[in-house]
Amino acid sequence: MITAKQSVENFKAKMNELVNSKYILADNKVTEVLKTISDSTLLYEIFEHVTENFDYDTFKSVCFSFDENGKGDFTLPKKDEDILAFCFLLLMELDLKKIDLFELCSVCFSSPDGKQGNYNLFATKVLIPFEMTTEKVAYKLINADFEEEVEVKEEEIATPEKEEKEDVKPTFTSKAQILVMKMRDEVILQKKEDKKVGEEYEEVVFVLDELEEFLKNKNPEGITLAFTALKYICKSVKKFKFDLDELAKYIAEVL
């Protein structure tokens, strides 16, 4: 039987395959992702919890919007539990062929780079946030269980002398974290000055927030994933002029 951590690693591996897939192969990879969830007690319970009483149809009508010409757009839910529930149920609909992935990408994730570009935009706006949020929530639960176990053991062996000598570790903010926070401040200021405000601002702030969290916790896989998402966004949305080379250099110092 695999451990909770191993099951999350399996999920991440399958999600990475899905994110980086050729669009014509994506259907099968959606099925593989859902199987890793069903095979994991931890992940299964997470998604069982977040989807209970979740109004998927209402969220779908809000997250997907269409203009008078039928051109669609997508806005990610704001709360972690809503991101998990919505994206999971969307993948379920794709797997059951209730929604055609290629049509969805063509209508709601249109890109000048053709069908693969449409799919890459879908991956950036839906799949990567879904993977990052799932990983964050899962590891919080795993770490909480571990810390609780450690605390119990420490209480059993603790002595007054040990408690007196215990050091408080100082918090450390890396150069990468500082740069990410600066980028987020720039985005917020840019949003106030932009006359044509779109959901791209919310997307990039979400990714920057996740990147800062992963940097704070020194999570290599999460850092890599969030940085990849940031690069995708900067490539598709030209208004964000971040120095990604400088950020990559600082991230390397953390890793």
Q: Are 105 and 202 in contact (CB under 8 A)?
A: no
DSSP string across 96-162: TTSS-HHHHHHHHS--TTHHHHHHHHHIIIIIHHHHHHHHHHHHHHHHHHHHHHHHHHHHHH--HHH
pLDDT of residue 21: 94
Q: How confident is the model at residue 197 (pLDDT cuts 50, 70, 90)?
A: low
Res 99: pLDDT: 96
**Mean predicted lDDT score pLDDT of the chain:** 86
Rounded to the nearest 10 degrees, how much is the dihedral formed by the CA atoms of 212, 216, 221, 224?
40
Maximum pairwise Cα distance, the chain: 73
Residue 63 is predicted with a pLDDT of: 95
If one compares 54 and 254, the residue with the highest pLDDT of the two is 54
Per-residue model confidence (pLDDT) at position 164: 46
Does the pLDDT of residue 160 top 70, yes or no? no
Structure tokens at 220: 């290599």
Query: Is pLDDT at 199 greater than 50 in this prediction?
Result: yes
Q: What is the pTM of this model?
A: 0.72
Cα three-residue angle 65-137-202, rounded to 5 degrees? 35
Q: What was the pLDDT predicted at 154?
A: 52
Domain spans of the chain? Answer: 4-142, 167-254
Q: Which band of pLDDT confidence, cut at 50, 70 and 90, is reported for residue 221?
A: confident
- Buried b vs exposed e over 152-172: b needs ≥16 C-beta within 10 Å? eeeeeeeeeeeeeeeeeeeee
Number of H helices, E strands in the chain: 13, 2
Quickly state the pLDDT bin for 166 (edges 50, 70, 90).
very low
Amino acid identity of residue 90, one-letter, is L
In this prediction, residue 253 has a pLDDT band, given cuts at 50, 70 and 90, of confident
**Overall average pLDDT of the 156-168 stretch:** 48
pLDDT category at 150 given cuts 50, 70, 90 is: very low
Give residue 146's pLDDT: 47
